Amino acid sequence: MDIREMEIFLTVAELRHFGRASQACNLSPSALTRTIQRLEEEVEQPLFLRDNRTVTLSAAGERFRAYARLALQEWQTFRAASKSEQSVAGTLSIYASITAVYSLLPQLLESYRDRFPEVQLELRTGAAEQAVAQVQSGEIDLAVAALPDRQRSRIEFLPIVTIPLVFIALKRQVLTSDWLCEGRLNLARAPLVLPQTGLSRQRLDIWLKEQRITPNITSEVSGNEAIIAMVRLGCGVGIVPELVLEKSPFRDEVAVLSQAPRLEPYVVGLCTSKRTLQRPSVQAFWRLAEERSKTPALPG
């Protein structure tokens, strides 16, 4: 059976009259009758009970009507989605850190490219702490960013994954440093390698202020990857998202300090301006990310 046959069946089921149904479907009475007969042959049961004066649905016809309605709705939804996908074109610019490009975006970009081949993708990389600013300035359509502590009124966020913040140090320094006491990190004495700006810097600054600690900052850098590189050089203790460390080529040369302050983890996802989200190419990427975030494996 096909969609047209189910539409004809539903018309007869609604009008309960073969003559009026044939006119509504623009078919001859004999053609309509043959269509119903083919359906009855396929389901191997009569769908209508009819005599010279009345037409009613059989028990099988009632069940088939429910099936046909659902099948027709699914078909219409599929066609609408297909037309929507075909109409998505133009450009889409995405900003992300190197770590996000490696861990979050590959499968998402591949799926988007398969569905919307007419969209020209522009991928830009940079420091994670600059992501929201790139969106706010209008320089970029979408960014992979950490959810800020304060919501921005004109920015939309789509949370995808939660990532712990960890303190790290060069492995050989862990054994000889005077800023570790029985494995516990003393932030009043430890030399610190910190990001210039961003969420991890804000949270650490708040913790230090609450503890009335004046930090010993030896280096301020831009980007989490740069923090790991400086820690590897022995410049001090750094704080980075755990995922960044896992993806770093220097991960085996540094150690995570387990007895360190517990800062609130990152919630990482997509962000865009509310105005930009109205564009079809951006909406399509957003919906795709929403679908994937409901499945259990989107690293950020």
Residue 300 has pLDDT above 70, yes or no: no
**67 in a domain, yes or no?**
yes
271 and 259 within one domain: no
**259 in a domain, yes or no?**
yes
Q: The whole model's pTM is what?
A: 0.59
**278 in a domain, yes or no?**
yes
177 and 234 within one domain: yes
Confidence bin at 146 (pLDDT 50/70/90): confident
Residue 30 has pLDDT above 80, yes or no: yes
**105 in a domain, yes or no?**
yes
Angle (CA) 120 125 131, round 5°: 100
pLDDT tens digits along 247-296: 899 999 999 998 999 998 988 899 999 889 988 899 999 999 988 776 44
pLDDT of residue 51: 82
The rounded distance, in Å, linking the Cα atoms of 181 and 92 is 51
185 and 258 within one domain: yes
pLDDT of residue 291: 85
62 and 143 within one domain: no
pLDDT of residue 131: 87
**222 in a domain, yes or no?**
yes
pLDDT of residue 95: 93
40 and 9 within one domain: yes
260 and 170 within one domain: yes
Other Cβ atoms within 10 Å of 150 Cβ, number: 6
**230 in a domain, yes or no?**
yes
Domain span holding position 30:
3-71
pLDDT of residue 83: 62
Better pLDDT: 217 or 103: 217
Mode of pairing for the β-strands spanning 191-195 and 216-221: parallel
Confidence bin at 171 (pLDDT 50/70/90): very high
The rounded distance, in Å, linking the Cα atoms of 180 and 177 is 6
The rounded distance, in Å, linking the Cα atoms of 268 and 247 is 16
7 and 131 within one domain: no
Other Cβ atoms within 10 Å of 274 Cβ, number: 11
**76 in a domain, yes or no?**
no
pLDDT of residue 63: 92
Helix/strand/coil for 103: helix
Other Cβ atoms within 10 Å of 287 Cβ, number: 12
Confidence bin at 177 (pLDDT 50/70/90): confident
289 and 229 within one domain: no
pLDDT of residue 299: 36
The enclosing domain of 146 has a CATH number of: 3.40.190.10
**79 in a domain, yes or no?**
no
**Domain count within the chain:** 3
DSSP state of 97: -
Q: What percent of the chain has pLDDT over 70?
A: 94
Mean pLDDT of 240-253: 92
pLDDT tens digits along 103-129: 888 989 999 999 888 899 999 998 888
239 and 104 within one domain: no
pLDDT of residue 130: 84
